[in-house]
Amino acid sequence: MVRNFIFKIFTIFIFVCCDSNTNSKYYFDSRTKTDFDNDGLSQESPFKSLKKLETIKLKQGDSIFLANGSYFEGNIKLINKNKIHLTSYGSKENQLPLINSKGHIAGIYVENSSNISVSNIKIIANGGGVVDQYKNLRTNKKTDKAIMRAGFLVNISEDKTFKNISVNNISVSDVFFEDEGYVRDPSEVRTSMGTQAYGFGIRFFNSSKNGSIDGITVSDCYVENVAHTGIKMTSNTNSRFKNIKVSNNTLRRTGGPSIQFSRVENLHVFGNDVKYSGSPDDGRKWGRGSGLWTWGSSNVVIERNKFMYANGPADSAGCHIDFNCDNVIVQYNLSVGNAGGFIEILGNNYNCSYRYNISVDDGHRVKGKNNAFQEGKTFWLSGYIGRGRDRNGPFNSYIYNNTIYVNDSIVSKIAVDKATSGVLVANNIFHVVGKSEHVLGDQYKPDDGGIGEIPNAFFKNNLFLNESYWPTVTLIEPEKSFYGDSNFKNPGGIRALDYVPLNKTLIKNKGIEIEKIKNDSIGLFKGLKMNEDILGNSIIGNPDLGAIEIN
């Protein structure tokens, strides 16, 4: 009897332990009649309201499922969690579950959590400020506006390293802090990133001193019509966000930049489709922004993206490299019609590159028109490192095998700061149909200008449409150049294939092998030699001029 009793106790103990470790699945369907009669543990008995989540103690390995076609008000908060999966279920796969988080800090808010995956959700948040119950999530005045409102928001507030946050196929649109009808003062767009509360799409923010995230994935998401940045990651000097992939996302009409990174490391951005960043079509939007830009970041590859139609009175390039970065490579991208320009590398940047990109009609902005306080530029090396600081750099910039087309209605403007040190410009096609001119760098105020000499400059072996293109007063001047018409397949088109050169004798095998800039021991962290062009064609022997190898 004693032996049987012990066996029964042991069996119960095993059962309880195993049961406590069982992963739970919680289902939510707004179309169900009531929460009270359902336990939420099956598709047949789902909860109706997201408020039921507040009564559930989620365990490691649990999952949350929202029914396709559902509409929820409120939000989902995952704080101090590990290994939680949030996604959709059911038929109507073309109708993602919608969370309306108006008045909340975010539709989905994640704080100090690891191994979180979120997919197949749609979020809107059109105004309403932030309700009182979320004030405790605002850590201090410095971060109030930074984490005020987003569709999807991750905040690190503890001095720990959290891991593996994955966001896939979520749609974020119509995210604003203020209600409709609000109009910002025109001076707000002149501030560096805005001083007021806005609305962001997908945001990762570090409000801690030493906390971080190792492993972030944002893929196949859609962001449209938000007040400020579409996808934004901001860490800090002490502990950067690391090992990040941002891929195959679509962004439209963001009021600020479409994609932006500050203090990140080991970043790969690829396959994104970006249009109309810096959109001014709503008075609540900031109204300025590049398609993508980095600041204070290291080891970054930005490739095979489309950056089109960026707007704004300053910056607003297709993709620009802001100051304090190192080892940023911009390659294989298509850049079209961006007001601010194509190449923009600011100060304290080391060993950065634009290579094998195609630029079409970038830099059309004219200073003094439509509130613009910065010229649009085809080519800009700026030493700017912040207001009130002496310009410095950029250092060892590699610019090669790009195809640049500018139509005759645009004046192509060039600016090279005399603080620049080390630059290579080779194997590019500068097909500028109209006029060109030298301008001073004008990040808030013009640089000092004047005569100078750029040390370690290599500007050779480029193709120009005519000999008069490059302004003679620029601090770097081309040598041993080619001149003539590339005879593009469809000049003025907005596809990469439109810029296949038909003038083979002028282009084929005329490139040179790229070597390190004099006195630069580093080069590029991914190497200087390229094996394929922007279309995926193999490079055999000497490279051709421009971004496309001719078969």
The string of pLDDT tens digits covering residues 389-421 is 999 999 999 999 999 999 999 999 999 999 999
Mean per-residue pLDDT of the chain = 92
pLDDT at 14 over 80: no
> Do 151 and 125 contact (CB within 8 A), yes or no?
yes
pLDDT at 11 over 70: no
Structure confidence by residue, pLDDT tens digits, 448-479:
888 889 999 999 999 999 987 899 899 999 99
3-state class (DSSP) for residue 143: helix
Which phi and psi (to 5°) does residue 506 adopt?
-85, -25
Structure tokens, 269: 């951005």
Structure confidence by residue, pLDDT tens digits, 238-272:
899 999 999 999 999 999 999 999 999 999 999 99
> What's the CA gap between 133 and 122, in Å, rounded?
23
> Do 243 and 299 contact (CB within 8 A), yes or no?
no
> Do 306 and 333 contact (CB within 8 A), yes or no?
yes
Structure confidence by residue, pLDDT tens digits, 270-314:
999 999 999 999 999 999 999 999 999 999 999 999 999 999 999
Kindly state the helix (H) or strand (E) to which residue 15 belongs, with its residue range: helix 2-20
* The pLDDT of residue 417: 96
> What's the CA gap between 269 and 247, in Å, rounded?
6
- The residues near 131 (Cβ < 8 Å, ≥ 6 apart) are 103, 104
> What's the CA gap between 178 and 128, in Å, rounded?
6
- The residues near 233 (Cβ < 8 Å, ≥ 6 apart) are 203, 204, 205, 216, 241, 244, 260, 261, 262, 264
DSSP state of 141: H
Cα three-residue angle 405-488-365, rounded to 5 degrees: 15
Structure confidence by residue, pLDDT tens digits, 204-216:
999 999 999 999 9
